[in-house]
Structure 1
Amino acid sequence: MEKTSKTKTKKINSATLEGFNAKKVEVESSFTKALPGFSIVGLTSQSIQESKERVKSALLNNDFEFPPLKITISLSPADLKKEGSHFDLPIALSILYHKKDINLDDFLVLGELGLDGTLKDTNAIFPIILSLKPKKVIIPLESAAKVSKIPGIEIYAFSHLKEFEEFKPKEFKKSELHYDSIKIDGKKYYYVNEFKEDFIDVIGQNEAKEAALISAAGFHNILLEGSPGVGKSMIISRMRYILPPMSLEEILEVEKYNSLEGKVVTFKPLRPFRAPHYSSTKAAIFGGGSRGAKIGEIAFANKGILFFDELPYFQKDVLENLRLPLQDKKVLISRVNSKIEYETDILFAAAMNPCPCGNLLSPVKECRCTDLEIRRYKNRISEPLYDRIEIYHQMTEDDAKDTISSEELFEKVLIAFEMQKGKFNANLEENYKFNLENEAVEILNKAKRSFALSRRSEFNLLKVSKTIANLDKRNKIKKADILKALRFRKR
């Protein structure tokens, strides 16, 4: 009996996303003299199984040989679930080069194929490369402009399968960000002088605007309370445009989430702003899912603002589950088949009415709520959650006509950001040694006795005080800084 013969097994490096972190995948191919067939194995999704038809059509439509053999493509490790149409290109190259001695070991290969052989970008390519940071990549030309912003990667971009007939890769030229920037300790931080929503539209409410400025400058969590129409949501929505500049790493991280969400990647140094409705479920806010772990709103708000309007109306389990992400700056989602841990470095902003009807603080409207209804309404927010909100301000209707522009506020934020050396006071380590004047120490000790401050409350007070000092171009905390921080503390 004649023995069956088999070509040498070929391996090409690719990857898949697990949550939003990438895992390496080896695309192995085997060609056996047997009844012709084409199979892909290795715990693959429907999109990968459909790859067989795209790859076959792309090869035949460009006059490449599709071998009349039993073709087996194995994606390993076999126990890792894989999905995504970006496996088209490594599978096609496995077949195209099955008789050629072309070494692709140094490359990570990603790309979707059109039926005519055109290479297409996918939402997964940018997050995969950002996660793995390989030395060399072979990707569609459509993906190259985005990927070129990631430092330290050699990019070899192709627009059509025909270009692989003779493998002569040419490195894609890197591109840089062209936005205003400041340099701190040799590192660039980018920003845009663009104020789509401007604080100049907010008439009066000077203390609330000062609270918003301190919150933005130090990335401190903030809660505004007041009757409907006093400008709570108006102020918080404008905070996005005065947030501190972003490093390249932060911009790439934000765009990674945008790409996963199917948004256009622009690399604009504008921090995210997410405002989920109070009817949102726990899974929608924090991520979850019955089959595989998925990320939620708090992940998409990373490096930016997560805004809860009508705070007490959010589900109780949502509010209680906020405590750990605000404290630890991360979330872990565990499911039977997958676990995802992601960063939640957010500025949590919230707004609420003083009572269910909203008129408790109004000088002209009568409150219709009973004392019991008001207590129940406010008790929906626990003390541990209040304890993680560093800035609180109760807004009332005022007749002031003062205005200040977002541009003026942003200039102050830039001063504080430079004083913080590109970091945020909200993220200071618990063992940080604050520099206080003697009078500031005295008033702090009085506050600890008078308000029975917990260790966390005292630490939050000092962090806010430091931001107030930084806005005044100082690192040393004065008595006035402590007093102002106490004014913006929830009692």
Structure 2
Amino acid sequence: MSLAVLKSRALNGMDAPQVTVEVHLANGLPAFTIVGLPETEVKESKDRVRAALQNARFEFPAKRITVNLAPADLPKESGRFDLPIALGILAASGQIPADALAQYEFAGELSLSGELRPIRGALAMTFAICKSTADGHTEPAFILPRANADEAALVTDAAIYPADSLLQVCAHFAAVDEENKLQRHRPQAAMQRRTYPDFSEVKGQLQAKRALEVAAAGNHSVLMVGPPGTGKSMLAARFPGILPSMTDQEALESAAVQSLTSGFSIDKWKSRPFRAPHHTASAVALVGGGGTPRPGEISLAHQGVLFLDELPEFDRRVLEVLREPLESGHITISRAARQADFPARFQLIAAMNPCPCGYFGHSNGKCRCTPDIIARYQDKISGPLLDRIDLQIQVAALPHEDLLKQASGESSTVVAQRVEAAFERQQRRQGKVNNLLSTTEIDTYCRPDGNADQLLKNAMSKFNWSARAYHRVLKVARTIADLAGADHISSAHVAEAIQYRRALREH
């Protein structure tokens, strides 16, 4: 047989379209050609495949070898096509049986010795394989490197067959008994929830802790404003520890994004991601991009927390790219040749100083910043972006006597129990967290009583809020009521929500 056909997968954002790998051997001067819009990594597979076959003691055919990766208009990148190309050459030259190849899909990068190296995007590829065989007539089977087996096996509907080397894969197809065949990989038991630093380690800052509890219960974004050393970064680092437990679907979505950058490992299963990019990060690093679109920090924080410390130090144009994802929960990267969609349902926690020197409003009186300098510094955070941040709180410096005391606040476990109860209350009532309520759903589920409604209208008039700010305050008030176990939003709930939106001067 001079022609072999195998199946593999490419990556296009979160999608993994099927790629048909066709290998043809013809008479003529020896040559090795790969067609089908291959990028540099794929073109280099010629050398890896040749060395791997020779070092595995197979014969490399002295013929004209043509490899076609179809569809031809889909760009192909990375070394994941090494394994199917090598198997195609062996099948086309009659060195391994070709009958059973159609039952599997293949992906894996080969070392020169024939060992299989891990690839990125294994989880997204497994999702796509299951989707394409959703008719139930055939069970999706996937042969890939052993290092990717745990993440791929999280998709329980797929049959995952891990291998360590090209020889093992070839032995699987040549074996006449089950002993020498590849064994189906079984998913590991669910990992325990990751441990995070504890809230009890933060001294004082009861108002900030309360605001973060409200944010965790309703999936609200937070901006903390205060002098240096007041505990803003400590609070942010402990925030994931009070978030509701991840569902299996949320964990799979988060793991699939991490898999695209080879950043997922099984010990992170069901752990909320916590991303804290430096303030020198570019817009592409934050939202994703590149010639071959890759997810950025907001997508890697999907179903988790994105912490932006020293918020005004970020380039203003970089911060502005957060506006759409904060509303929509996804990001679309458009390039001339392709378009890729990535999920970006993250919870924003930001921190900043009140002025360039950091001590405006501090009791030590060190601040020498003029009102104009302070205004310019705070104006680095645009009004539209600030409008999308639900809770804006002051984190004041602690008195010396409080700093000398032992930390004795509530533990993260105690706070997390209240958050979980409020979260479950929202799920029973509306099937989603309060922050995701639409305008129509706000009218249905966030209706304040008479006194609370009048208080909210007065605050909107006094602070000149936009309609978006009004709705966000209502959703925060709904979350406060849920934490209190109340069915209706009272004036006390609205008053607390209003206090969480006055950290910076009004825009």
| Greater shift in the superposed pair: 144-153 or 436-445 | 436-445
Between structures 1 and 2, the one with greater helix share? 2
Distance across 1 between alignment mates of 2:480 and 2:112 = 60
Residue 356 of structure 1 aligns with an amino acid whose one-letter code is: P
Any idea what SS the aligned residue of 2:332 has?
Answer: strand
Any idea what SS the aligned residue of 2:342 has?
Answer: strand
Distance across 1 between alignment mates of 2:238 and 2:20 = 47
Q: Which residue of 1 aligns with 2:279?
A: 278
1:99-131 C-alpha deviation (Å, 9 max, x unpaired): 444143342211222333333322243333245
Distance across 2 between alignment mates of 1:248 and 1:300 = 17
Distance across 2 between alignment mates of 1:131 and 1:484 = 46
Deviation at 1:162, TM superposition (A): 3.0
| Gap regions ≥5 residues in structure 2 | 133-139, 176-180
Distance across 2 between alignment mates of 1:166 and 1:387 = 59
1:155 corresponds to which of 157, 160, 182: 160
Distance across 2 between alignment mates of 1:460 and 1:313 = 26
RMSD (Å), alpha carbons: 2.4
1:113 maps onto 2:110 in alignment: yes
Q: Which residue of 1 aligns with 2:137?
A: none
Contact between 2:13 and 2:342, CA under 8 Å: does it hold in 1?
A: no
Contact between 1:312 and 1:352, CA under 8 Å: does it hold in 2?
A: yes
Counting only pairs closer than 5 Å after superposition, residues 78-477 of structure 1 correspond to structure 2 as 78-98=72-92, 99=94, 100-133=97-130, 135-163=140-168, 164-165=170-171, 167=173, 172-179=184-191, 191-192=193-194, 194-195=195-196, 197-263=197-263, 265-266=265-266, 267-289=268-290, 291-399=291-399, 403-421=409-427, 423-432=432-441, 433-436=444-447, 438-439=449-450, 440-477=452-489
Deviation at 1:66, TM superposition (A): 3.0
Distance across 2 between alignment mates of 1:13 and 1:115 = 23
Residue 429 of structure 1 aligns with an amino acid whose one-letter code is: S
Q: Which residue of 1 aligns with 2:40?
A: 46
Residue 247 of structure 1 aligns with an amino acid whose one-letter code is: T
Distance across 2 between alignment mates of 1:166 and 1:177 = 27
| TM-score, length-scaled by structure 1 | 0.89
Q: Which residue of 2 aligns with 1:184?
A: none
Contact between 1:416 and 1:471, CA under 8 Å: does it hold in 2?
A: yes
Distance across 1 between alignment mates of 2:18 and 2:371 = 59
Distance across 2 between alignment mates of 1:322 and 1:437 = 30
Distance across 2 between alignment mates of 1:101 and 1:359 = 73
Distance 1:398 1:159, change over 3 A: closer
Residue 278 of structure 1 aligns with an amino acid whose one-letter code is: H
Distance across 2 between alignment mates of 1:362 and 1:140 = 57
Distance 1:79 1:411, change over 3 A: same
Deviation at 1:306, TM superposition (A): 1.4
Contact between 1:466 and 1:475, CA under 8 Å: does it hold in 2?
A: no
Distance across 1 between alignment mates of 2:492 and 2:485 = 14
Distance across 2 between alignment mates of 1:46 and 1:385 = 40
Any idea what SS the aligned residue of 1:414 has?
Answer: helix
Q: Which residue of 2 aligns with 1:185?
A: none
1:356-389 C-alpha deviation (Å, 9 max, x unpaired): 2222111122320111111111122222111101
Residue 358 of structure 1 aligns with an amino acid whose one-letter code is: G
Contact between 2:121 and 2:262, CA under 8 Å: does it hold in 1?
A: no
| TM-score, length-scaled by structure 2 | 0.86
Distance 1:30 1:269, change over 3 A: same
Distance across 2 between alignment mates of 1:486 and 1:437 = 13
* Percent pairwise identity: 37
Distance 1:13 1:306, change over 3 A: same
Any idea what SS the aligned residue of 1:340 has?
Answer: strand
1:289-329 C-alpha deviation (Å, 9 max, x unpaired): 3x343332222222111122121221111122221111122
Distance 1:316 1:212, change over 3 A: same
Any idea what SS the aligned residue of 2:270 has?
Answer: coil
Give aligned pairs, total: 472
Distance across 1 between alignment mates of 2:310 and 2:63 = 64
Residue 467 of structure 2 aligns with an amino acid whose one-letter code is: R
Distance across 2 between alignment mates of 1:162 and 1:398 = 65
Contact between 1:21 and 1:131, CA under 8 Å: does it hold in 2?
A: yes
1:15 maps onto 2:9 in alignment: yes
Distance across 2 between alignment mates of 1:43 and 1:374 = 54
Any idea what SS the aligned residue of 1:105 has?
Answer: helix
Residue 430 of structure 1 aligns with an amino acid whose one-letter code is: T
Distance across 2 between alignment mates of 1:239 and 1:404 = 13
| Greater shift in the superposed pair: 366-375 or 163-172 | 163-172
Contact between 2:142 and 2:159, CA under 8 Å: does it hold in 1?
A: yes
| Greater shift in the superposed pair: 306-315 or 201-210 | 306-315
Distance 1:79 1:375, change over 3 A: same
1:431-487 C-alpha deviation (Å, 9 max, x unpaired): 212154534334334434444443211211121112112222344323221111111
Deviation at 1:204, TM superposition (A): 0.9
| Gap regions ≥5 residues in structure 1 | 1-6, 181-190
Contact between 1:435 and 1:475, CA under 8 Å: does it hold in 2?
A: no
Contact between 1:48 and 1:87, CA under 8 Å: does it hold in 2?
A: yes
1:404-438 C-alpha deviation (Å, 9 max, x unpaired): 22222112221122222274221222221215453
Any idea what SS the aligned residue of 2:11 has?
Answer: strand
| Greater shift in the superposed pair: 56-65 or 456-465 | 56-65
Any idea what SS the aligned residue of 2:351 has?
Answer: strand
